[in-house]
Each structure stands twice: as structure tokens, then as C-alpha cells.
Structure 1
Amino acid sequence: MAKPLSPQWKTSNKEIARMATKQQFLDFLYEIEPSTSTVSACSSAHTNLRDKLSAHETFKEVHVSTFLSGSYVRKTAIRPQTRDGELRRPDVDIIVITSHTTADSPETVIDQLYNALSDGGYKNLRKNRRSVSVLLATVDMDVVPIIEAPDGEAHLIPDKELNEWLRTNPRGHTQWATDVNKEAGERFKPMVKLLKWWRREHLADLKRPKGFILEALVAKHMSYSETSYEELFAKLLRTIKSEYALTVALHQVPYIEDPAVAGNNVFSNVEPEEFKQFYDMICKHVGLIADAQAETDGAKQLAKWREIFGTFFPAAGTAAKAANENLLRPAAAAGLSFPAKPIIPNKPQGFA
């Protein structure tokens, strides 16, 4: 008769299911990375626009320099989905440092930028409160004029509605994201991608919170010691549910200080009803995650995670990807880190 396994070699059905799910999370993070074709399209688009601004006959008189900001540079971007037959284009934020001063009205500054872009051949333009949007077939660009702050440690951004210049620090946000990711064992940025994807699956029409607000939320409430992405995501949602129950009951929004601009609340532009809608969906999915983690059948557990993350969450692991613990790989555009993988037919490409 075969000798029974000793206790340390016994593996429960639940543990087997959990091991399977670990690979699915790695595969999922791999799949929601921006494709190299999208990175290339974004690189070409922002390079052309920046060149046109610096060479514009009149705008070059106030043009100092440009740099990239947003999820494109912070490496927290995800690939877009097709909704209602329309592919959601990737977003690129371009910061334009100008020689304007606070004596110039925000509206005049934005008008001048708009006219320069129009002269550059861009047809689909939109003036925003603090920027000008450039909408192309493959990418959306948000072009933001700023000036140096008097203390030299940040910048000022024009606000048309307030008719004021407000403090901002996009480079500080980029460095902050890098620092937090290092502190979190390189798991902060993947966690941001998971939350962004989850939000878009279930709250695509909700205006806010999104973008950098979600990054600040993850940084504040994720575990910095947990290594399992399944448990990281579960703990994040449970913590948010617990932390903000009273906030929602009082019809308020959270206060999370901007990590690069002291005194600013990253939730300042979020309406209480918007946050309540976001919070209610969090609460619903805390329950769904509990059901998934309690499931001992691997196939059923994965089916529940696909309900949480959508059909991009793989139904089965891929052995070839199992050895790839480094989910971010060098991309075509210098200075960026996106996976150098081929385009997958019949799947949306790009990021947002």
C-alpha cells in the first residue's frame, strides 16, 4: 500500500485554485498593457505636435520647452476597450512651459495655444478649462500651458473658470509614482492598472474619480507587504469600503493630499454623488471577491474573477507567460516601459 503524503505535502482544493488564479492575474496584467503599436502611434503624435509648437511663427516667442506627463509617462496606462462599436483612444498629456506671466489672463493663454495648434493643421480641437484637447484618429492629446512658479519648485497652470493661475507639479507626480512603486516592491503600478481596468469595466460612464485620483487612492490604501495580486486587489477594495463608509453617509468626498502640491486635495473636483456611485460599486465587488476567494473549484473561481474584471481576464493560464514575472518590458519609444508584444488579432489595442 502506498504511503500517505505527510501533512506538509498535502494541498487543499482551495490552495490549488488559488495557485491557478495567481497565474491568471499575471496573464491579465500582461494582456492589459498598451501594445507597441499604440506606443508608437502616441510617440509619433506627440513628437509632431511638440515640433510644430516650437517652430510656430508666433507661438515660438513664448514657447520655452515641452515634456510629457500623465499615465503615459507614469507607466500606469492600460489598453483601451471598444465600447458601442467605438475604440476608446489613448490619452497623452503634453505640458508646454511658456514665458507667459500671471499678468496674462488664463483665457488669453489658452486661446493663443489653441490658435497655434489650429495653424499647425489640427482640425479637431477643443478648448478646456485648463488645456486644449487635440483629437486624432489614433490618439487624444491634452496640451497644457504652464509657467514657472516664483519659487522655482513647481509650476502654475491657467484656469479659465476661476481666472487664476493655480499651482501644479506634473514632474513631481511622475517622480512620486516612481518612488511609491519602488516602496511597494514594483506592485503599485500594476495595482493601479487593475483598479483602472475594473473601474472601466463597471463605471465607464462615470466622469470621476479616474486617472491620477485612482493612483493616489491606491497609494494610500494598498498593502505594501502583500505579494499576491489577487489578495492585493481584495484588500484594496475592502479597505476603501471600510475607510469611506462615513464619508459617503455624510455625502462628502475623501481628502487625499496631492503628493506633489501641498494643501491640494486630489478629490477636490469629484462630486459627492460621483464618489458614492464609485463606492457603491466597490461595496458590491467586495462581496463578489469574497465569493471568488471562497470558491474551491478552480474553474468556478476563475469564472467569478471574469465577472469582476471582464472577459479580458483569462479563463486559463498560459505556461509561456508563467516565467515572465517582469510584466513591463522595453518599448519602442525611448524612456517608456511597455511590453514588446505582437498585436493580438480581434482585440482592442492601445491604452487609456
Structure 2
Amino acid sequence: MVLSWLQGVLDKYYSETRPQGRSIGISAKGVWLDIVPGSPVYKDGPLWIPDRDAKEWVQSHPKGQISAASEKNKSTDGYYVQTVKLMKSWRDRLPTEKSKPKSYILETLVHQTIGLPTSHARAVVSLLEGINSSYGFYRGSGMVPTIADPGFASVNVAKRWSSADFDAFLDQVKSAATTARQALDATDEAESRKLWRKLFGSTFGA
């Protein structure tokens, strides 16, 4: 009911709105924004937000998410944020929509698997091989594991991820992990660049 009310209000000010699981999406000058109503559980803690699909209020912790990302970025000497950007670029180039995870799922997977890299290349290899190692055996099982929000561990960020979409993503990860490892290990700079561009596009490293 709250989301329906919110969409009605936003319809008065924006030409295009769309209901989503926990938010209303609006188009503002060509950019899509998600508007999420919330009520604090306690000061600086999690929020209660509506879940349209579950028809109930659930907890989320935006400040916890921001803090977890900031701490991870600090512990990796800035590689976390930069690697998230790289992996979103890779994600956006995947051949099917089914294989493209939501941004926060991808951020969480990077958070889990990045390790302590000494270069962007090693960060990418670490996380792709880490995802494949940690989750690859779920491929074809019809199951999607719980993937805990690093900023609020009781939240499963993969709750809405279908097994078919999860499998499609894992297929892409397995292939990309092989390519990234070959690129990292290549002794010829031109060959290494060619392999990285298979993942990140023709302008990568230009």
C-alpha cells in the first residue's frame, strides 16, 4: 500500500515511474532513480522498508552498506571501488540480460572475493576465480545460495535471484575467469591486452 501511495505521488511530478520490489523507479532527465520509503528501527541503524513481493516490511541497512564498502576500500588500498567499477563494466557487456546480476549483488561478490590485491589485474582474477570456486558447484542444481549483505549480514542479497539467471551468470564467470587468468599470466604485453579487451572492451588499456 505504501509503494502504491508513493507511486501515485511521484506520478504527479515525473512522466515515467515503475513499481519495483522495494522501491519506485523514476526517470529524471534520462537517469533512472530508485525511491525507497523507509522507517528507522533505531538511530543510525537499519531501516524498515516495504517489500511488495513479500507483502511485508523488511529490514535494510544503507548506512551499514556504505560503512562496509568504505572499510573494504580502505583495507584494499582503494582497489575495491575501482574493481567494482571494472566488474560493472564487464557485467554490462555480457550477452544476455539473464546473466547480468543486480549491481548490489555484484558489489557484494566483489566484497567477498577481492582479497588483498596488488594490482587491478590481480583483483579481477581473484574475484572471478573466487566466485567460481565458491559458487560454481551450484550451477545446474536449481538452487541459489544465501549471499549475505556485507553491511547487514541478516539480509540475503540473492533472495530474488532465480536459479536460471544465477546459472547464466556463473557460466559467464567461469569463462571470464579463464580469460582473466590467461591475461594475467601472459608474458607478451600485446597478447595480455588482447585478452583483457575480450572482457572489458576494445578501448581497455588504450
- Is this a same-fold pair by TM over 0.5? yes
Shift of 1:285: 1.7
Structure 1 distance, partners of 2:32, 2:129, is: 34
Aligned residue pairs total 205
Shift of 1:245: 2.5
Mapping of residues 1-352 of structure 1, within 5 Å = 107=1, 109-119=2-12, 121-149=13-41, 151-152=42-43, 153-203=45-95, 205-206=97-98, 208-224=100-116, 226-315=117-206
Provide closer, same or farther for how the CA distance between residues 252 and 306 of structure 1 changes in structure 2, counting only shifts above 3 A.
same
Shift of 1:204: 5.4
Provide closer, same or farther for how the CA distance between residues 312 and 126 of structure 1 changes in structure 2, counting only shifts above 3 A.
same
Q: Is the 8 A contact 1:222 1:232 kept in 2?
A: yes
Shift of 1:219: 1.0
Structure 2 distance, partners of 1:147, 1:294, is: 50
Provide closer, same or farther for how the CA distance between residues 111 and 187 of structure 1 changes in structure 2, counting only shifts above 3 A.
same
Provide closer, same or farther for how the CA distance between residues 185 and 130 of structure 1 changes in structure 2, counting only shifts above 3 A.
same
Shift of 1:300: 2.5
Q: Is the 8 A contact 2:122 2:184 kept in 1?
A: no
Q: Which runs of 5+ in 1 are unaligned?
A: 1-106, 316-352
Percent identical:
30
Shift of 1:137: 3.7
Shift of 1:294: 4.0
Encode CA deviations 1:7-61: one digit per residue, 9 max, x unaligned.
xxxxxxxxxxxxxxxxxxxxxxxxxxxxxxxxxxxxxxxxxxxxxxxxxxxxxxx
Residue 157 of structure 1: SS of its match in structure 2? strand
Provide closer, same or farther for how the CA distance between residues 212 and 281 of structure 1 changes in structure 2, counting only shifts above 3 A.
same
The one-letter code sitting in structure 1 at the alignment partner of 2:73 is N
Shift of 1:288: 1.8
Shift of 1:269: 1.2
Structure 2 distance, partners of 1:201, 1:129, is: 25
Which is helix-richer, 1 or 2? 2
Residue of structure 2 equivalent to 1:39: none
Q: Is the 8 A contact 1:167 1:261 kept in 2?
A: no
Shift of 1:227: 1.0
Shift of 1:287: 2.1
Residue 264 of structure 1: SS of its match in structure 2? strand
The one-letter code sitting in structure 1 at the alignment partner of 2:191 is K
Encode CA deviations 1:122-174: one digit per residue, 9 max, x unaligned.
1112222322211134211111111122x442111112232211111112211
Structure 2 distance, partners of 1:223, 1:236, is: 8
Larger radius of gyration: 1
Structure 1 distance, partners of 2:138, 2:51, is: 28
Provide closer, same or farther for how the CA distance between residues 210 and 162 of structure 1 changes in structure 2, counting only shifts above 3 A.
closer
Structure 2 distance, partners of 1:160, 1:294, is: 47
Provide closer, same or farther for how the CA distance between residues 218 and 166 of structure 1 changes in structure 2, counting only shifts above 3 A.
same
| Structure with more relative contact order (C-alpha pairs < 8 Å, separation 6 or more) | 1
The one-letter code sitting in structure 2 at the alignment partner of 1:159 is D
Residue 252 of structure 1: SS of its match in structure 2? coil
Provide closer, same or farther for how the CA distance between residues 273 and 215 of structure 1 changes in structure 2, counting only shifts above 3 A.
same
Shift of 1:295: 3.1
TM-score normalized with structure 2 length: 0.89
Q: Is the 8 A contact 1:114 1:132 kept in 2?
A: yes
Q: Is the 8 A contact 2:17 2:26 kept in 1?
A: yes
The one-letter code sitting in structure 1 at the alignment partner of 2:135 is Y
Q: Which runs of 5+ in 2 are unaligned?
A: none
